[in-house]
Amino acid sequence: MATRKTAAAAPQPPRVGAALAAVRRQRGQSLEDVSRQAGVSKSMLSQIERGQANPTVAVVWRLATAFGVPLAELLGDDRPAEPLLATLPAHATPLLASPDGKCELRILGPIDLAGRFEWYLLRVQPGGALDSRAHEPGSREHLTVDRGTLEVQAGAERARLRAGETARYAVDVPHRIHNPGKSTAQALLVVVHAA
């Protein structure tokens, strides 16, 4: 007689809603206050708190930033300890693309460091540009070009980088990474947010 294997239970997503409600109430803020500060709709906040919606990483990061708390506080502390060694398959590394499809950011850093320290593999097609608004005061980016040519602009300052070169620049001003070349450029982008 064959025995049937039972599938392991899938891990549950973090209970962001309960943590969000607790932090909001502790600070005496209304949903409208939080909506205004974080740029997340009041109805979405309500759904998150009631457990009817799972927010994206970007939404959780905006909420944590608005509250001035570590991302892990909203994700809950009941997650298991990290193993000594963990590997991720390629499909588990999120990829963000610009609306025109000319820029791709592969998120290499773990979610619990988002908003403090982030790193990405950046690919920019010829003529593509990654335009960004100012981050919090004191934040910096470090861009190391692996192949191709990229032009970096921070405020009014501009530099052109070739393979092997690195730029370190302030990002508490509007900034831009552009590919002026004729081939796809690839770089490692590290963002260090101010404490």
Domain-located, residue 21 = yes
Look up the CATH number of the domain holding residue 183: 2.60.120.10
pLDDT of 106 over the 70 cut:
yes
> Helix 42-49 and helix 16-26: axis angle, to 10°?
110
The confidence score (pLDDT) of residue 4 equals 52
Count CB atoms within 10 A of the CB of residue 104.
19
Note whether 24 and 70 are same-domain residues: yes
The confidence score (pLDDT) of residue 82 equals 58
Note whether 37 and 62 are same-domain residues: yes
Q: What percent of the chain has pLDDT over 70?
A: 88
Domain-located, residue 122 = yes
What mean pLDDT value characterizes the chain?
A: 84
As for how many domains the chain has, the answer is 2
Q: What pLDDT digit, counting tens, does each position of 43-70 carry?
A: 888 888 888 877 877 788 888 888 877 7
130 beta partners: 177
pLDDT of 7 over the 70 cut:
no
Note whether 121 and 181 are same-domain residues: yes
The confidence score (pLDDT) of residue 175 equals 96
Domain-located, residue 153 = yes
Domain-located, residue 54 = yes
What's the predicted TM-score (pTM) here? Answer: 0.59
- Provide the domain limits for residue 67: 16-75
Domain-located, residue 107 = yes
- Please give the Cα distance from 85 to 87 (Å, whole number): 7
Mean pLDDT of 22-32: 83
Domain-located, residue 58 = yes
pLDDT of 25 over the 90 cut:
no
99 to 67, 102, 147, 185: CA distances (angstroms)? 29, 8, 23, 18
Note whether 123 and 172 are same-domain residues: yes
